[in-house]
Structure 1
Amino acid sequence: MKGEASGSGDVPAEELRFDFRSGRLCLAFVATVGERWRGNHERLREPADLARWYVEAGLLDEPPAVTAAGLEAARVLREAVHRIAQALIAAHPPAADDETAVNAAAALPPLIPVLRAGTGRLTLPPTRAQQSALSTVAREAIDLFTSTGIDRIRECVGPQCGLLFVDTSRPGLRRWCSSTACGGKARAATYRHRRAASSGNPGPE
């Protein structure tokens, strides 16, 4: 990440909403910083935000208790996951310190799977609940980074996006985080440029 993520300040409300277009839990966790390419908007501004993320991500039905230290540990893991993903995209080996950070979080017991009305869910253990939630995220990151899907990790080419995602398309040529979001904007821009060129007015560069 380019420096520290910014606080809420005058950040538009939409920039503080969580984004789950990445296709993997750990990459959605990375997206709790918005506009890494420019604004570095911190979406985990306080412990309650992290607790809410666990619920919105579908990990838990109820938000766990999160402390200030737990929030800081989550941010450390998040940035390590981000740097590892970026290294893999560039075909570089991950930094040892980043792997150590992920391994440390994953070493703690994860959330407990339970069966409820025929549906599998995750629940908090009686102790070290916030560490267990973070461990589950770290273990999912290890699963991704050691899978055959590591060559499908992408960074959206949208000039105002940069979201990390997993390309699940059959040809593996997906460039945008979403065909209806950044992909739609790119197609619209191309169409406008072609219309302007055909009319003899190339429009703004």
Structure 2
Amino acid sequence: MTGSLDVQSSPEGFRLGNEILAFRFVATLGERRGDPVERIAAPERLRAWLTTNGLGGADMPVSDALLRDAHQMREAIHRAGTAVASGGVPDPADEELLNRWTARHRARLVLTGGQAQWHLPDTDPARAALAIVALDAVATLGGHRDGVIKRCEQRTCGGLFVDTSRGGRRRWCSMATCGNKVKKANLKAARDGTEAGSYGPAT
């Protein structure tokens, strides 16, 4: 079972710091409000993301058609999450798309060596794996988790996260990535301001 991952990124370049599986999937399109970065541009990349998140193996077949469906589902999750984060409700079309995915849920959660793992069906396992992502999205968007859904405040990100912090003050989807970018930008701005001031009129 894939809840939160300790590492922030994988060797394949996937962002793994988000505690919510569905929102980690949303992060496969990065820099949404800047110069977008597509991290699952080919079927093998989608398979790699699923495998990295404990949803299948390296030999799992993934088709071009499934990749297109995965992109559509990912964007429905993002639109729905953005709506909830803004205090609204998801568009009915996005809800229907996610509900169709959850209806395909055929994986079983099994206990192996003290660890919960997803056991995928032999037929179309990659689609069944994506149904797990959709199920996580529905549970999260529908309020079955503690915390508040928010959109990352880092200028170019636009990712989603669930804020469970005391006082609800969390601002970024990941402190190690977006939070760190903001921190570095603020430090640079402070240095530039000091340097510019040093060339101004004497006081």
TM-score, normalising length from structure 1? 0.80
Report the CA distance between 1:56 and its aligned residue.
1.1
Q: Is the CA contact 2:54–2:118 (under 8 Å) kept in the aligned structure 1? A: no
Check conservation: 2:32, 2:156, Cα contact below 8 A. Answer: no
Runs of 4+ in 1 over 6 A off after TM superposition: none
Say yes or no: does 1:51 pair with 2:47. yes
Of 135, 140, 145, the match for 1:139: 135
- In structure 1, runs of 5+ residues without a counterpart are 1-13
User: Against the structure 1 CA distance between its residues 106 and 183, is the aligned structure 2 distance closer, same or farther, given a 3 Å change threshold?
Assistant: same
Q: Greater RCO between the two (CA within 8 Å, min separation 6)?
A: 2
Answering whether residue 32 of structure 2 is matched by residue 36 of structure 1, we say yes
Distance across 1 between alignment mates of 2:146 and 2:77: 13
Match of 1:73 among 69, 72, 90: 69
Q: Is the 8 A contact 1:165 1:177 kept in 2?
A: yes
Q: 1:167 aligns with which of 155, 163, 170?
A: 163
Structure 1 CA distance for aligned equivalents of residues 107 and 39 of structure 2 = 23
Please state how far the C-alpha of 1:163 moved relative to its aligned partner.
2.2
TM-score using structure 2 length: 0.81
Q: Distance in 2 between matches of 1:185 and 1:75?
A: 27
Q: Deviations over 1:5-62 (max 9, x none)?
A: xxxxxxxxx9x72112222011111111121112222221111111111111223354
Q: Please say if 1:89 is aligned against 2:78.
A: no
Aligned residues: 189
* Closer/same/farther in 2, CA of residues 29 and 69 from structure 1, 3 Å limit: same
Matches within 5 A, 1:188-203: 188-194=184-190, 197=193, 201=197
Instruction: Give the share of equivalent positions with the same residue, in percent.
Output: 34
Q: Secondary structure at the match of 1:190?
A: helix
Task: Look up the equivalent residue of 1:37 and give its one-letter code.
Answer: R
- Extract unaligned runs of 5+ from structure 2: 1-9
RMSD over aligned CA atoms reads 2.5
Q: Does 1:129 align with 2:106?
A: no
Determine helix, strand or coil for the equivalent of 1:201: helix
Quote the Cα distance in structure 1 between the aligned partners of 2:27 and 2:198: 35
Letter aligned with residue 170 of structure 1: R
> Within 2, Cα distance between the matches of 1:174 and 1:147?
18
